[in-house]
Chain A
């Protein structure tokens, strides 16, 4: 892999509570954190890092609505207009028997659409090899990556702030 010239300082945290306090302390000192990689979801980390709430629920709702409309239009058009048939003397278009299929297609499109959106916005796809700041981040370590080019402070200063805020190791990583 060719070098992109990016320089990172990588702080390793052993415990999620130390990490949470550390994130607040480090951001309080004015250090910009590139991203934190954790082996499991740490509650409160997104707020500590200042991330806005995900808008995926909106995507889920819109896809669900598409499913509802699609299902109703399909059933009403097929049985009511394209080829109306008398089945047990019932109305061609009556809503109650159309509800189960409408419900199922709402759920189906909502779920698939939301998950597809999630994969696209998170840039996840098969065979993608992620950039690894420290391979232990999927095992038991919480890994904080700090982009040195995005910060005005020197490497040594940031390193000291990381250590003072609970990092058990500070490493350099260049890409």
Chain B
């Protein structure tokens, strides 16, 4: 029948059967939440509440509560926006690009990674919305809606408007893709609840599962839909961070005006996204005892993606410097010289250490298969990626052409509060997801049990 390749390691360990998959993954949906879950949820909600206060203050007072000034008109808001959007990229990469490349190891991690994508994009969207100040007018500024000023339409020549379309399309398509994947698994929980006699749960998951019955014809259509959604999401995910990079690259600000930005941003996005997936999954596999499904092998493969994308990002940093020197434009050269040696040197070197040097440790097999080391490095990578965006944004604009316009950026409590707000939102959403939704795609994992599971001896 089907042979197990001796070259590849098993993707599912512990001699699991198809039955065990339903059992192990549905268990946490069916059991009462643990104390640990309540504590984690409580902390997230406190962060959320504090952030919400800061957000309300911003909407009440205006964006003057942030530390922006005439020179630095964009700082933490756009830094956090790009950071969160970047994190979101790993989910789609795993579910779409790895599907097209038929990488079976995606199956244990795609569900949680896609959830992370959706929540990260929501977090990202809060920053441009908040930065509008008058949020209630945002619809007219951001969308081509008829209005009483003419209609004075939105400007389709602006990369900021492209962003609106890119991010909202990305969010919608990711959400649909994620939900399509969840439907068969909701049906599993529905039928288990029916067998256990839990009517409430059966009714809720019946509503969510859209009457899924697993008919061969539906599966055939379902696979066709998944493949096309993957084909659509692949250029989509690349377009999103490309368009985010256009926010900077289409300007004439020294330090931003570079054609290297689109590929460099996309690589950075995947880099930070995989780091966040690792941070979340290392905790999730431990808490829900999913070590047989998310194995060291999965972690190692993700670490390899981190080395590759981290190195691409490193080369991009060096290329930018080379081009700034080789291009012989004084303003451009100064922007980069100031980045590395000016008042924000510490941010620049934090970025270099965290993003370029630290992931190189993953060349050692001992480190990339060590869970504690991976966990620490995954957080370091995301700190580095936050600094990358901060460095690109603030160091390029804080020294304007005229020295009398030179300035520094100092964040206020409200800048910090906004960032905390998104953490509260992200983790609240993720913990709710982890409790009420199956965190691993059961149907997909079941389909590889025969070929990729370690056999019982």
Question: Interface residues, chain A, CB within 8 Å of chain B?
Answer: 16-17, 35-42, 45-46, 49, 51, 53-54, 56-57, 60, 74-75, 78-79, 82-83, 85, 87-88, 90, 97-98, 100-101, 103-105, 107-108, 110-112, 114-115, 118-119, 121-132, 135-140
Contacts and interface: CB of A to CB of B under 8 A. Distances in A.
Contacts of B1: 17
B217 A51 contact: yes
Nearest to B173: A111
A97 B154 CA distance: 13
Given A101-B162, A111-B176, A138-B188, A40 B217 contact: no
Given A98-B156, A111-B232, A126 B213 contact: no
Contact of A97 (B144, B156, B172, B215): B156
Given A114-B229, A118-B221, 17 more contacts: A17-B1, A39-B443, A39-B446, A41-B223, A46-B217, A46-B219, A51-B220, A75-B156, A79-B157, A87-B157, A121-B221, A124-B211, A124-B218, A130-B187, A137-B213, A138-B212, A140-B19
Interface of B: 1-2, 17-19, 22, 144, 150-153, 155-157, 159, 161-162, 165-166, 169, 172-173, 176-177, 180, 183-184, 187-188, 190-192, 194-195, 206-208, 210-225, 228-229, 232, 235-236, 239, 243, 246, 442-444, 446-447, 450
Given A40-B443, A54-B221, A140-B17, A45 B188 contact: no
B206 A127 contact: yes
A60 B228 contact: yes
B156 A42 contact: no
B239 A57 contact: no
Given A16-B450, A56-B224, A114-B228, A122 B165 contact: no
B165 A100 contact: yes
B220 to A, nearest CB: 4
A134 to B, nearest CB: 10
B210 A125 contact: yes
Contact of A139 (B19, B161, B169, B229): B19
Given A39-B188, A41-B447, A126 B156 contact: no
28 contacts: A16-B450, A35-B215, A35-B216, A39-B22, A40-B18, A40-B443, A40-B446, A41-B443, A46-B219, A88-B157, A100-B166, A101-B156, A101-B161, A101-B162, A103-B239, A105-B169, A107-B173, A108-B169, A111-B172, A112-B173, A130-B213, A132-B213, A135-B194, A137-B213, A138-B187, A139-B18, A139-B191, A140-B17
B217 A35 contact: yes
Given A40-B444, A42-B219, A104-B165, A123 B144 contact: no
Contacts of B151: 82-83
A87 B153 CA distance: 13
Q: Which of A57, A112, A124 has the most chain B CB atoms closer than 10 A to its own CB?
A: A124
